[in-house]
Amino acid sequence: MSASIKRSTVYLDSTLHKLLRLKALETSRSMSDLINEAIRASIAEDAEDLAAFDKRADEPLISYDEMVKRLKKDGRI
């Protein structure tokens, strides 16, 4: 094992474990590799969300009622 890899115990729902094991077999990848990929994707998505919030931080706030009015006007609801 590489020094940059840490061992951890993770408890999975039995159905998720079975699905993960099957996906690992079908893709010829390890369960650890699939879990690491899923965690990286989740963290990257969080970073994108935070960047979007930062980008819009200076936008004026509007009330819920105003937002509903805009959505109705645009035909979205």
Burial class (CB within 10 angstroms; exposed 0-12, middle 13-18, buried 19+) of 5: exposed
Judge whether 41 and 16 are in contact, CB under 8 Å: no
Q: pLDDT exceeding 90 applies to what percent of the chain? A: 83
Buried b (16+ CB within 10 A) or exposed e, 22-49: eebeeeeeeeeeeeeeeeeeeeeeeeee
pTM score > 0.85 for this model?
no
The per-residue pLDDT for 1 is 57
Give me the residue spans of the domains in the chain: 14-73
Using 50, 70 and 90 to split pLDDT, how confident is the model at 77? very high
Q: Which has the closest alpha carbon to 17: 29, 31, 6? A: 31
Give the C-alpha separation, 73 to 65, whole Å: 12
- Does position 30 have pLDDT exceeding 60, yes or no? yes
pLDDT per residue as tens digits for the range 3-12: 689 999 999 9
Can you give the pLDDT at residue 2?
64
Distance between CA atoms of residues 54 and 48, nearest Å: 10
